Structure 1
Amino acid sequence: MDTFEINKDGTGEREINVEEIMGKIRESIRERKELAGFPVSDTGDLQRGPSVHIGDSNIQRDLEYVNSNWDTKNNSYFISSHRPVVGKFLIRSREMVNGEIKRYVDPIFWKQTEFNGSTVRLLNYTAGKFNHYNNEIEQLRSEIDFGMKKLRPEVEDKIEQLRPEFEDRIEHLKSEFDNKIGELRPEINNTIRSEVNSIVTSMKLEIENMAWLASIIESKAKERHKKQEIETSDTENFDINYFRFEEQFRGSREDIKQRQLNFINYFTGCSNVLDIGCGRGEFLELLKDLGIGGKGIDIDDTMVDYCLSKGLNVEQEEAISYLKKLEDKSLDGIFIDQVVEHLEPDYLINLLQLCFQKLKYGYYIFVETVNPLSLVSFANFYIDMTHKKPIHPETLKFLLTSVGFRDLDTKFLSPVSEEARLQKVPINSGVEEWVKNYLGTYNQNIEKLNNILYGAQDYAVIGKK
């Protein structure tokens, strides 16, 4: 077999089979003749480069670059050899290898070239449209500016023509406003006059009430002066003007009404509510204002006279005697406010039993009294000399449960103002952790003390039959 050796320095390191190489070349030529050729795209417009100019220099430079480099074919490459003896065989071998490789890579490069060409054509088309529309926009802008300059005098003339009409309309509206204000002025004056009269009437009524109270006090004082001997040991002859006492120590009627308004929902829709120990009639007045039927009883003749003067339905009656006269299940609500602390235990139990008998099923009894769990409330308890003893909330709940009431609910009322309570120490965010823990414990103890010393002054227990 004809062979020869070549190497980089001319000494020969590997053997070349010439017949084998020639056979491969002939086979390659035969296959390439059988292989169909690739279509050639129309690239004339791309060879000429972009025919448009973009204002942005960076975009223009990129457009020129893609127009110059879209074709991926390498036509400048050629095979050569610097070896004088075996060079022609090396060239033939490299051409053969190059031909074999091109069979596989040429379709890929052809598709990439076609894609690049289509992309560049689309970019050129888009750039051309951009220039076209940009020119049209500039032309339209000039036309719009010209049209606005032309229309401005016409618009200004039209405004001047309409100005008198608008001014007349404004004057007309101003005249209508003045007339309307003139019409409303008497109505406003009447409203103000009515409000003033209402206030004056209210003040007059208050003055009359005070005058009535003064006359009652004066008559009682005269009766006392006529007596030549007062038996201080006989508690039945002990007399105190409880009306004045409540005014001074319990609070004004308006304050009491405002507080009692929170309990009115227990008696909504009722028609026969009994207020035991109605006093100055604050709760009865609330019932009357809301269209709820109610009646009050009290043993103090001054209180009864005052309630009657207010147009309230009140009788001077002792509670147990009055309840015994009623039919069973005839009441649809019972309200007892600041009364039970005046009663002896046996009397209280008897009273609650009668309340249960006289109340209809499904309706409520509301009992409010002084809260002995609060030291400040307990300290004030004996300001009223008619108080017998405070009643613990759990004791009152037990008594109501014992006589048959159910669904008991306890509410603590009349909280002491924050200014009167012990103050906590504020904890700043920058303090050390041990200081924060110390102050936190201190503030918890302050809260516990506040609950004992300055807890709610009153409480109420609500029961359902």
Structure 2
Amino acid sequence: MEDLSSGCEIVDTFDINTEINEDEINVEKIMEKIRENIRKQKGAGIFPEKIHGDLQQGSLLEVTPGESNIQRDLDYINSNWDIQNNSYFISSHRPFVGKFLVRGRDLVHGEIRRYVDPVFWKQTEFNGSTVRLLNDTAGKFIYYNNKIEQLQSEMDSKIEQLQSEMDSKIEHLRPELGNKIERLRSEFENQIEQLKSEIDDSIKAEVNSIISLMNLDIENKAWLASVLDGKIEKGYKNKKTGTPDPGDLDINYFRFEEQFRGSREDIKQRQSCFMNYFLGCSNVLDIGCGRGEFLELASEHGIGAKGVDIDDTMVDFCLSKGLNVVKQEAISYLESVDDKSLDGIFIDQVVEHLEPDYLIKLLKLCFQKLKYGYYIFAETVNPLSFVSFANFYIDMTHKKPIHPETLKFLLTSAGFRDVDTMFFSPVSEKARLQKVPINNDMEEWVKNYLDIYNHNLEKLNGILYGAQDYAVIGKK
């Protein structure tokens, strides 16, 4: 180990000659003197300057300029981690007693080191371990800091490269996008023009349809006016007593149906679901054909059909539409045709106008004149619905409502098979009694009560606001 005191002898600093007797050595006084000397040296800034090896990776580390304080601290702990001092020697300037003094001091020094050296050794080992850990941590810090700076530099470079590529691609795509926008704008404008044209055509078609309907209505009313004028001029003819002729009541049944039954279009829409029973037929008879809605539907479906009615106005109207209709009472007409010559019979809103004996005879004749395997379809007012029953007597030519089971029985008795009943024309939901809503927050007994209430309400709705019409279908 090199001398760290620049040639100064520690003996002189302690000045043991003046403090210690040559005959008596006081160790405690010597230790106190040493401590005081160390404090003075620290106060004067006198510290060893040598570096003791690399301490197993404990050498000085290079730190970035911005970390000068850290570098200074690392330099200091790397220079002063070993607190042992073996660089001094004991001597004396006294010529005669010097060798005795040196010997005595050697004894004192040995005695002191017996107590102090273990402490110094442990402290030195601890300092060495701490310095190694600090140097290792600082090295890793510098390594990762350099890595971060390197990655940051690479990222900045790549970002600049990507930005340049994106700018280049944007500039490259700009003309293409501009062309696409122009093309889409042109297509959009063309579609707008096309839609305008379609809307104009749709409006024109709707206007023409309204005008056509208005013209048709005007023609119908003009025709009806001419019929009424003709009746006024020649007077009403007497009708045969006992026949279901509404003319006996001196009313215009054509106008009555327009007001209370519904428009011809509404009736055609309602009857369209019955056409499946007559598809492929060529000789269907419509008894009580009225305004001819069924006959028009049959013609549209390629079904051969003929109508009979006893109302002059109805017959004249159907003939004006080019429909095959004759003015004749139903039973007399059926008696005039051959047995098993008809392949379908349609009776819509007629049976409620007939007396029971007339109806029974009519149904027997229908069975007699119908071919085997073909259908009879009889539709009438549903008396099981209170709202329908209440409206039944609006028509003064109605005789009596017929229960569905009664009409079904009459067809079965006449010989028809596979007799079935169909209900339709429901009352709107808004007109029906409304149920009470049930939610999960209610108590169980309340839910049960409301469930029973709603169930009974549904039954009541069926009685009050059930289907307004029904039909009985039979097959020969």
Equivalent position amino acid for 1:285 in 2: E
Deviation at 1:389, TM superposition (A): 2.2
Match of 1:214 in 2: 225
Deviations 1:247-302 (A, max 9, x none): 22222222222222222222233333221111112222222233333222111111
**Equivalent of 1:289, from 300, 305, 311?**
300
Match of 1:278 in 2: 289
Mapped partners of 1:223, 1:401: distance in 2: 45
Match of 1:114 in 2: none
Alignment TM-score, normalising by the size of structure 2: 0.59
Change beyond 3 A, Cα 1:320–1:144: farther
Give 5+ residue unaligned stretches, structure 1.
Answer: 1-135
Match of 2:338 in 1: 327
Match of 1:345 in 2: 356
Match of 1:396 in 2: 407
**Equivalent of 2:397, from 386, 389, 393?**
386
Secondary structure (helix, strand or coil) at the match of 1:327 reads coil
Secondary structure (helix, strand or coil) at the match of 1:269 reads coil
Deviation at 1:306, TM superposition (A): 1.5
Deviation at 1:141, TM superposition (A): 10
Secondary structure (helix, strand or coil) at the match of 2:396 reads coil
**Equivalent of 1:257, from 268, 285, 295?**
268
Mapped partners of 2:391, 2:226: distance in 1: 30
Match of 2:420 in 1: 409
Deviates more, 1:323-332 or 1:278-287: 323-332
User: Is 1:305–2:340 an aligned residue pair?
Assistant: no
Match of 1:360 in 2: 371
Mapped partners of 2:356, 2:438: distance in 1: 48
Identity of aligned residues (%): 73
Change beyond 3 A, Cα 1:441–1:234: closer
**Equivalent of 2:163, from 152, 170, 185?**
152
Q: How many residue pairs get matched?
A: 328
User: Is 1:201–2:219 an aligned residue pair?
Assistant: no
> After superposition, where does 1:13-412 map in structure 2 within 5 Å?
146-147=157-158, 149-150=160-161, 152-175=163-186, 177-178=188-189, 182=193, 186=197, 189-224=200-235, 238=248, 239-412=250-423
Match of 1:28 in 2: none
Secondary structure (helix, strand or coil) at the match of 1:315 reads strand
Secondary structure (helix, strand or coil) at the match of 1:460 reads strand
Deviation at 1:352, TM superposition (A): 1.4
Change beyond 3 A, Cα 1:169–1:425: closer
Match of 1:23 in 2: none
Deviation at 1:175, TM superposition (A): 3.9
Change beyond 3 A, Cα 1:152–1:447: closer
Give 5+ residue unaligned stretches, structure 2.
Answer: 1-146
* Moved segments of 4+, more than 6 Å: 138-145, 233-237
Deviation at 1:417, TM superposition (A): 3.6
Equivalent position amino acid for 2:182 in 1: E
Mapped partners of 1:385, 1:347: distance in 2: 18
Deviation at 1:424, TM superposition (A): 4.8
Deviation at 1:312, TM superposition (A): 2.4
Deviations 1:394-432 (A, max 9, x none): 221111112221111112233334444455555565555
Mapped partners of 1:399, 1:462: distance in 2: 11
Mapped partners of 2:270, 2:431: distance in 1: 20
Deviations 1:325-358 (A, max 9, x none): 3333332221101111112222222221222222
Deviation at 1:366, TM superposition (A): 0.8
Change beyond 3 A, Cα 1:176–1:425: closer
Change beyond 3 A, Cα 1:279–1:145: farther
Higher Rg: 2
Secondary structure (helix, strand or coil) at the match of 2:285 reads strand
Equivalent position amino acid for 2:300 in 1: D
Equivalent position amino acid for 1:256 in 2: I
Match of 2:467 in 1: 456
Secondary structure (helix, strand or coil) at the match of 1:409 reads strand
Secondary structure (helix, strand or coil) at the match of 1:312 reads coil
Equivalent position amino acid for 2:399 in 1: K
Change beyond 3 A, Cα 1:155–1:379: closer
Deviation at 1:383, TM superposition (A): 2.4
Change beyond 3 A, Cα 1:445–1:187: closer
Secondary structure (helix, strand or coil) at the match of 1:248 reads helix
Query: What is the aligned-residue RMSD (CA, Å)?
Result: 3.7
Secondary structure (helix, strand or coil) at the match of 2:302 reads coil
Deviation at 1:182, TM superposition (A): 4.9
Mapped partners of 2:457, 2:201: distance in 1: 56
Change beyond 3 A, Cα 1:407–1:196: same
Alignment TM-score, normalising by the size of structure 1: 0.60
